[in-house]
Amino acid sequence: MTEASGAPAQVEPFDVVDLIHTKRDRGELSAAEVDWLIDAYTRGFVGDEQMAAMIMAIFLNGMTRAEIKQLTLAMIASGERMNFDGLGKPTTDKHSTGGVGDKITLPLMPLVATFGAAVPQLSGRGLGHTGGTLDKLESIPGWRADLTNEEMFAQLRDVGGVISAAGSGLAPADGKLYALRDITGTVESIPLIASSIMSKKIAEGTQALVLDVKFGSGAFLKNIEQSRELARTMVALGQDAGVATSALLTNMNVPLGLAIGNANEVRESVEVLAGGGPADVVELTVTLAREMLALAGKTDVDVEAALADGRAMDTWRRAISAQGGDPDAALPVAAETHTVYADRDGVLVQQDALPFGIAAWRLGAGRARKGDPVQHAAGVDLHAKPGDTVSKGQPLFTLSADEPARFPRALESVEGAWRIGDAGDEVHDGGPLIAERIAAS
């Protein structure tokens, strides 16, 4: 007879190997099985090697809508859920699947907040060629990303909008799963992408959500059909959770705007808030603002006027100051630059997004591993966009870095990514900036 010591071991209701077999053989997990799986993985009972087998089975065989919904709810339940009901005004948010030169959150948040909606924008840092909103804003002297829940609430009440880092308490299961997907070749799984994004956004507590789902060269998913499937899946998850949700499919075949990096993207965002800026950045900012405000119940608004008359700029300055930043401070400037010039007269007919994103990353604007530092002054500034007429000797783009040794590899990454043709040649830009709107059924 053996003597028991301490508390009795928890009796687990399921065996993870049985669940792996179910998904391996294209079966469907029950709600109880999904809940247990995520809880057991979060507390360490299910090991990384077992969850790696599970997510590979999901990657290969997919999940039903019911499974994806339950996976999302289970990840939300793994942590805290924020609530902004006490603000006394509607909350609305935007999520982008990421791209090259995608700085839209920066002018969008103050623009929407100007009309009396609260915008709790929890953002992240970049990895690889996709830039991070927090990296961009941290190029502003003094600005801080990490806020307490109380500080967020106060800023939403007083300013109307906040851009900050998501706390570790929101959907911690997603953090574990995301890290595992990154090293197991299972990132591009629509059920896993959708549940990852929506678990954080629903836990964030927003009442309305607009999804900017990219497709094309510089996007997470290159194919518009895949992006459409992801958008529909996420809109359905929002609908099931009681969050008013819609999505726009937007073109990421060419870089968005003229600036790719951190500090230079802040400069471009301020230009938009001052009533200028590149036409594509303005178009997407205005369209997303209208969509966010409509879901928040505010339809009779003139968002272009708020850019033109300085109201959105005033909100931006207040938001930056509230987080310790100096909106008047000079932004970092790189020590070295290298400009590429047109070698002939003609029309710029090609400018692929992904290679230019990789160039900015190699210049120091991005990071290869989570936690790596970024160089806020590094990046690429474009002087022409597809369809523009150019002359021999005209600047096409400028690379910026603190170390000139970074230029050769950055130039190597954009070799063949741009081309000058003749008048009348087809322009390879992937079509309209906004391809489709997807609403809840």
Average pLDDT over residues 125-133: 73
Give the tokens for residue 294. Answer: 């409509």
| φ, ψ of residue 348 in degrees (nearest 5) | -70, 110
Give the tokens for residue 365. Answer: 């604007």
Question: Which is catalytic among the residues 176, 181, 214, 406?
Answer: 181
Question: Which is catalytic among the residues 164, 189, 196, 246?
Answer: 196
The pLDDT-based confidence of 38 (bands split at 50, 70, 90) is very high
Cα 153-157-158 angle, rounded to 5 deg: 120
| φ, ψ of residue 7 in degrees (nearest 5) | -75, 145
pLDDT tens-place string over residues 141-157: 999 999 998 999 999 99
How many percent of the chain have pLDDT more than 90?
85
Task: Return the bridge partners of 96, or none.
Answer: 212
- Order of strands across the sheet with 208-215? 92-96, 208-215, 244-251, 434-439
269-272 own/partner pairs: CB under 8 Å, 24+ apart: 269/103, 269/106, 269/107, 269/136, 270/313, 270/316, 272/107, 272/307
pLDDT at 2: 43
Place of tokens 């900036």: 433
The pLDDT-based confidence of 301 (bands split at 50, 70, 90) is very high
The pLDDT-based confidence of 123 (bands split at 50, 70, 90) is confident
Q: Is 317 a catalytic residue?
A: no
Q: Is 246 a catalytic residue?
A: no
pLDDT at 432: 96
Question: Which is catalytic among the residues 69, 95, 214, 317?
Answer: 95
| Helices 149-158, 311-322: crossing angle, 10 deg rounding | 150
DSSP 108-167: HHHHHHTTT-BEEEEE---BTTB--HHHHHTTSTT------HHHHHHHHHHTSEEEEEPP
pLDDT at 8: 61
Amino acid type, 241: A
Q: Give which of 270, 300, 302, 310 is closest to 286, Cα–Cα.
A: 302
pLDDT at 188: 84
394-397 own/partner pairs: CB under 8 Å, 24+ apart: 394/341, 394/342, 395/339, 395/340, 395/341, 395/342, 396/340, 396/341, 396/342, 396/348, 397/339, 397/340, 397/356
Average pLDDT over residues 284-304: 96
pLDDT tens-place string over residues 91-113: 999 999 989 999 999 999 999 99
Greater pLDDT, 21 or 368? 21
CA distance 343 to 355: 20
Give the domains, in start order, of the chain with CATH numbers: 16-62 (no CATH), 85-169+199-329+435-439 (3.40.1030.10), 336-421 (3.90.1170.30)
CA 438 to chain centre: 18
Question: Which is catalytic among the residues 93, 135, 174, 212?
Answer: 174
Residues in the chain, total:
441
pLDDT at 1: 40
pLDDT at 179: 84
pLDDT tens-place string over residues 382-439: 999 999 999 999 999 999 999 999 999 999 999 999 999 999 999 999 899 999 999 9
Question: Which is catalytic among the residues 176, 200, 201, 214?
Answer: 200
Average pLDDT over residues 215-219: 94
pLDDT > 50? residue 86: yes
Residues 6+ apart with CB under 8 A from 103: 131, 133, 136, 256, 257, 259, 265, 266, 268, 269, 281
Average pLDDT over residues 191-208: 94
Q: Give which of 114, 102, 82, 83 is closest to 293, Cα–Cα.
A: 114
pLDDT > 90? residue 273: yes
Q: Is 95 a catalytic residue?
A: yes
Rounded to 10 degrees, what is the CA torsion of 30, 36, 41, 45? -130
pLDDT at 5: 52
pLDDT at 417: 97
Amino acid type, 218: G
pLDDT tens-place string over residues 175-189: 899 889 878 888 889
Alpha helices in 247-347 (DSSP H): 263-273, 279-295, 303-308, 311-322
How many percent of the chain have pLDDT more than 70?
97
pLDDT tens-place string over residues 307-363: 999 999 999 999 999 999 999 999 999 999 999 999 999 999 999 999 999 999 999
Q: Is 174 a catalytic residue?
A: yes
Place of tokens 């272009």: 304
pLDDT at 44: 94
pLDDT at 6: 58
Contact (Cβ atoms closer than 8 angstroms) between residue 380 and residue 353? no
pLDDT at 167: 77
Contact (Cβ atoms closer than 8 angstroms) between residue 363 and residue 419? no
What is the helix, strand, coil percentage profile of the chain, to 5? Answer: 45, 15, 40
The mean predicted confidence, pLDDT, of the chain is: 93
Q: Is 200 a catalytic residue?
A: yes
Greater pLDDT, 11 or 118? 118
Task: Return the bridge partners of 97, or none.
Answer: none
